[in-house]
Amino acid sequence: MDSLPISALQHWLFCPRQCALIHVERLWEENRLTAEGRLLHERADSGIPESREGMRVLRAVHVASDRLGVHGVADVVEMHGPRAFPVEYKRGRPKAHRADEVQLCAQAICLEEMIGRAVPEGALFYGGRRRRQAVAFDPDLRALTARVAAEARGAMADGDLPPPVYDAGRCEACSLNALCRPQAPRIAATWVARRLARAGVPE
C-alpha cells in the first residue's frame, strides 16, 4: 500500500474494525450523522479561496506526506503570511478520544513537508458548538499520529478484518453498525451458554 487516506487514521483510532470495513472491504453506509457531517463540509470543500483580514483562506487543499505514507484533503488551510494553519470541520462536539486531533496533526505534517515550514498549531471546528478548538501539534500528538499511521498502514496492508468489539456509545452512532454487527458475537455466546445450561452441561 503506497499511501493511506488521512481519514483512515481517524477511523483506526476510533475503531479498527470500522477502518478495515471502509478501507479494506470498501463498505460504506450513510446515516443522519454522516449526512450532517457531509453538509458541514460542503462549503469547506468548495475549493474557492478567499482573502480576508490579512490572510489567504484555501479550501479543499490536497496534501500528502512521504514520511507518514498518507494523503488527503485538508478542509481549510489559512495562510497567515508564510505560516499555514489547518482547520478541520467536524459535526457534533469535541470527543474524549484523540482521533480528530490525529487527523488534523497528519494534515499539518503533510503541510510541513510540502511547504518546508513548521506548522505548530491548527484548529478543529465543531458544528455542535459553532466554534473552534485550538490544537497544538506537540511532540506527544505527533508521536501518536506517527504510531497510528504505522499501525493503520500495517493492518490495511495485511487486509485483516479485526473482530467486533461492542461499545454502545460508539457503535450505536456508527453508520456501519448493520454491516459490522458488533453485537452478534455476544448474542451468539449468550445463546450457546443458555443451550448448554438447559442441557445440564457445566461451564
pLDDT tens column, 138-155: 999 999 999 999 999 988
CA-based nearest residue to 160, from 11, 47, 17: 17
- Looking at the structure, tell me whether residues 179 and 200 fall in a common domain: yes
* Rounded CA separation 5/43 (Å): 21
Residues 110 and 19 in one domain: yes
- Are both 149 and 98 inside the same structural domain? yes
Whole-number percent of the chain with pLDDT over 90: 45
Same domain, 51 and 98: yes
d(CA 142, CA 105): 7
> Could you tell me the three cell numbers for 122?
491548527
- Residue whose C-alpha cell reads 513537508 in the numeric block: 113
Q: pTM of the predicted model, to two decimals?
A: 0.78
Highest mean pLDDT (candidates 36-40, 112-116, 130-134, 173-177): 112-116
Lowest mean pLDDT among 90-94, 143-147, 160-164, 199-203: 199-203
- 28 & 79 share domain: yes
Q: Distance (Å, rounded) from C-alpha 198 to C-alpha 43?
A: 59
- CATH number for the domain including 30? 3.90.320.10
Query: Could you tell me if 51 and 136 lie in one domain?
Result: yes
Residue 192 and residue 100 share a domain: no
Domain that holds residue 180: 164-203
Q: Is the CB of residue 64 less than 8 Å from the CB of residue 79?
A: no
Q: Which of 83, 90, 93 is nearest to 7 (CA)?
A: 90
**Co-location of 108 and 49 in the same domain:** yes
More confident residue, 194 or 96: 96
Q: Do both 148 and 181 map to the same domain?
A: no
The answer to whether residues 145 and 191 belong to one domain is no
Who has greater pLDDT, 159 or 8?
8
Give the pLDDT band (50/70/90) at residue 197. low
Q: What is the predicted pLDDT for the residue at 188?
A: 39
Percent of the chain with pLDDT over 70: 79
Same domain, 22 and 98: yes
Distance CA 4, CA 164 (A): 22
For the chain, what is the total number of helices (H) and then of strands (E)?
A: 8, 7
Domain count, the chain: 2
Identity of the amino acid at 180: C
Residues 124 and 194 in one domain: no
